[in-house]
Structure 1
Amino acid sequence: MLEEWAIKNTDLVSITTDNATNMIKAFEDFPELWLGCFGHNLNLAISKALKIQRVDTAVRACRHLVQGFSRSWKRRRALKEKQAALNMPQKALIHDVVTRWGSTYKMIERFLSQQQSICATLAGERGVWHLMPKDADISVMEQMCQLSESLSKFTDALASETRVTLSVIKPVLDHITCEILVENNDDPSLTKEIKRVMREDLNSRYTERAKNVMKMACFIDPRFKMSFLDEPEPAIVDRCVQEALKLTPAQTGEEPQSSSDPPVASEGKGLARLWKEISSTRQKRGEEDKTPTTQENGVREEIKIYLSLQSIPAEEDPLGWWRGHASELPHLARIARKLLCIPATSVPSERLFSASGHIVSPNRSLLKPEKVNMLTFLHTNLK
């Protein structure tokens, strides 16, 4: 893939993919940072909780009920009549997709909201009473729905945005694991188990190396800075200083000229020629005086200035902020350019594959690759 797109390994910072087995196998020895899609990680954690026996039984019962209505137009018509009689919104039941936990949540939420009309519909048909879930299953669905409601907001937000950068993972992950999935004393035992399973699975999805990069990206984001970091300030500052020192030679693209190299020929005559030689010598001496210690002090001064500036609102673009402060904070701007380009989720790229799949339909299967590329580009950008 990298060879086909002529991407050099030296230009790579990170690769973000889903957590499919083939992806993990492909990038397990990858020299650069590999990140699993945050949306996929959240989906896997919730799917693991859905496999708990009591939860799985309740979800199957709800799915069986929905299938019972979808296979009978008479039953669907009777449901609409009962909804109208009870002054309830006339909404159809929702099928879930096994690979998307959000659809399972919507299926359960729709069943719970229409439970009264569903019971009234089934009561008039004795042969289908078995379709109604048991009280124990309904109790499980209520607990699962209550917990999933807040998580669905994060899934919808991450999937709807097109520029979800790595810096947002740390705040969102901390809020989910330390607020939403914290076990309370008054929680039922099943809710505690669901929270524990989700929390442990989410925390195991990121390596220590990935967590360190996430912390640095959060620090360099002017929306967050130190707000969501749980480690001492000197530790993250030292890490940023080391990263800035590593990026400085690569950014300038200039290597100091060795003493054995022949001097550059100076143009001009007389005093002009001597002045150019003096200026060149003075410039070389200044470059030699820029030791790592001097550069390190410069980076630390930039960090002090950066922390003294006011944080920007959450809805503003951090990359746009850095474009305006690149001349004032050049070392930190290099770190921001490197880290804030890393996507936290692979949803936008997967959405492109879905768009191209709709374009190459059975009725347009003879489209040439060049035409598909152009149509996909127009579909994505002409909005």
Structure 2
Amino acid sequence: MLQSILEQKRALSVYAADHNLPATVTANQWTLMERTAEVLAPFEELTRDVSKETATAADVIPAITALRRVLSREQTTDQGVRTMKSTLLEAVETCFAEVEKVPVYSIATLVDPRYKDRYFTKSDNLSLAKESLIQEMMKIEESRAANKEPEAAEPVSKAPRQEARSSLGSALDEILEECQSGAQSVSKTSADVQMQIYLSEQTIPRKNNPLDFWKTHATQFPSLAAIVTKSLCAPCTSVDSERLFSVMSNILDEKRNQFSPEKLEMLIFLKKTKKNKTKNIHFILKP
């Protein structure tokens, strides 16, 4: 709303001057609106990021950590909005105080090659997340040992990080640069070895798909790859699932209501997964 008003600043000012309006927006108020929109911009960016189809539970902890940094950073343009920034930061701290302790988010963050262990703000929470991850890996290894599944290994390929332009993206990159992995402790189990080697490697660019990384490194980190199939498939919001209702309403309506449940499900699947969505519809609708 504020951005829309600011875009029409010149038009509104000219209209107010031509029509002698009794109340107009002062220069100080325009400045205050600009600063308010600047403070709220990271929230909009975060909301859009976590609402994407590709967003997973791994995006929650890094996004909150970056948001905290943006709000806690003092700038020369904070005059007039300093109290609002502190109030927003306090609200974020209150709402997400325990997010790093939730295994759904912490484990997903660790196994995401874009984030790994770089975005945990407290060492205790990071240690707890690593313990939970190792426990999950040991369960998988015990199950594989019972089934006598072989494990192979291959070298890790490194990729440079991408620089972000937005304020929230810049904060994410800053945290990566500051939180490089330190000296690793002596490992005792296969799960420890896999986790320490994986975490010691450089993160991949945030624009990359983490699942592509695991397609090529699943044999090197088999236990971690097994956890990825459970952790990185969990969305961080219900936005995308709610979009399915809109997709269904566009396919099934009053004038087109004779689809069987199976055909309707196939069409929705194509709509959500196929880039060329109309290409394969005739295969589904064949008699």
- Deviation for aligned residue 1:197: 2.7
> How has the CA–CA distance of structure 1 residues 301 and 183 changed in structure 2, closer, same or farther, with 3 Å as cutoff?
closer
> How has the CA–CA distance of structure 1 residues 250 and 343 changed in structure 2, closer, same or farther, with 3 Å as cutoff?
farther
- Deviation for aligned residue 1:321: 2.1
Q: Per-residue displacement from partner, 1:183-205 (whole Å, max 9, x unpaired)?
A: 52745564122222322322333
Cross-structure match for 2:232: 340
- Deviation for aligned residue 1:349: 1.4
For residues 186 and 319 of structure 1, the distance between their equivalents in structure 2, rounded to whole angstroms, comes to 41
Cross-structure match for 2:271: 379
> How has the CA–CA distance of structure 1 residues 365 and 210 changed in structure 2, closer, same or farther, with 3 Å as cutoff?
farther
Cross-structure match for 1:224: 115
> How has the CA–CA distance of structure 1 residues 358 and 211 changed in structure 2, closer, same or farther, with 3 Å as cutoff?
farther
Aligned-partner residue type, residue 216 of structure 1: I
- Deviation for aligned residue 1:181: 0.9
For residues 194 and 231 of structure 1, the distance between their equivalents in structure 2, rounded to whole angstroms, comes to 25
> How has the CA–CA distance of structure 1 residues 296 and 331 changed in structure 2, closer, same or farther, with 3 Å as cutoff?
farther
For residues 239 and 351 of structure 1, the distance between their equivalents in structure 2, rounded to whole angstroms, comes to 33
Whether contact under 8 Å (1:183, 1:195) holds in the other structure is no
Whether contact under 8 Å (2:50, 2:59) holds in the other structure is no
SS of residue in 2 equivalent to 1:315: coil
Structure 1 unpaired stretches of 5+ = 1-103, 255-294
RMSD: 3.4
Larger radius of gyration: 1
SS of residue in 2 equivalent to 1:143: helix
Cross-structure match for 1:46: none
For residues 149 and 209 of structure 1, the distance between their equivalents in structure 2, rounded to whole angstroms, comes to 22
Cross-structure match for 2:159: none
- Deviation for aligned residue 1:175: 1.0
Whether contact under 8 Å (2:71, 2:85) holds in the other structure is yes
Cross-structure match for 2:65: 174
- Where do 1:77-156 residues align within 5 Å? 104=1, 108-126=2-20, 129-130=21-22, 132-133=24-25, 137-156=29-48
Cross-structure match for 2:164: none
Cross-structure match for 2:137: 244
> How has the CA–CA distance of structure 1 residues 230 and 329 changed in structure 2, closer, same or farther, with 3 Å as cutoff?
same
Aligned-partner residue type, residue 201 of structure 1: A
Whether contact under 8 Å (1:245, 1:296) holds in the other structure is no
> How has the CA–CA distance of structure 1 residues 164 and 113 changed in structure 2, closer, same or farther, with 3 Å as cutoff?
same
Cross-structure match for 1:184: 74
- Deviation for aligned residue 1:299: 1.1
Cross-structure match for 1:298: 190
Aligned-partner residue type, residue 358 of structure 1: N
Aligned-partner residue type, residue 121 of structure 1: Y
For residues 42 and 214 of structure 2, the distance between their equivalents in structure 1, rounded to whole angstroms, comes to 32
316, 329, 339: which one aligns with 2:208: 316
The share of aligned pairs that are identical, in percent, is 25
Whether contact under 8 Å (1:183, 1:192) holds in the other structure is no
Count of equivalent residues:
233
- Where do 1:267-286 residues align within 5 Å? none
For residues 269 and 23 of structure 2, the distance between their equivalents in structure 1, rounded to whole angstroms, comes to 47
- Deviation for aligned residue 1:322: 2.1
Q: Per-residue displacement from partner, 1:12-46 (whole Å, max 9, x unpaired)?
A: xxxxxxxxxxxxxxxxxxxxxxxxxxxxxxxxxxx
> How has the CA–CA distance of structure 1 residues 347 and 241 changed in structure 2, closer, same or farther, with 3 Å as cutoff?
same
Cross-structure match for 1:203: 93
Whether contact under 8 Å (2:62, 2:119) holds in the other structure is yes
> How has the CA–CA distance of structure 1 residues 380 and 195 changed in structure 2, closer, same or farther, with 3 Å as cutoff?
same
Aligned-partner residue type, residue 67 of structure 2: I
- Deviation for aligned residue 1:244: 1.8
318, 337, 353: which one aligns with 2:245: 353
- Deviation for aligned residue 1:177: 1.0
- Deviation for aligned residue 1:302: 1.6
For residues 329 and 119 of structure 1, the distance between their equivalents in structure 2, rounded to whole angstroms, comes to 61
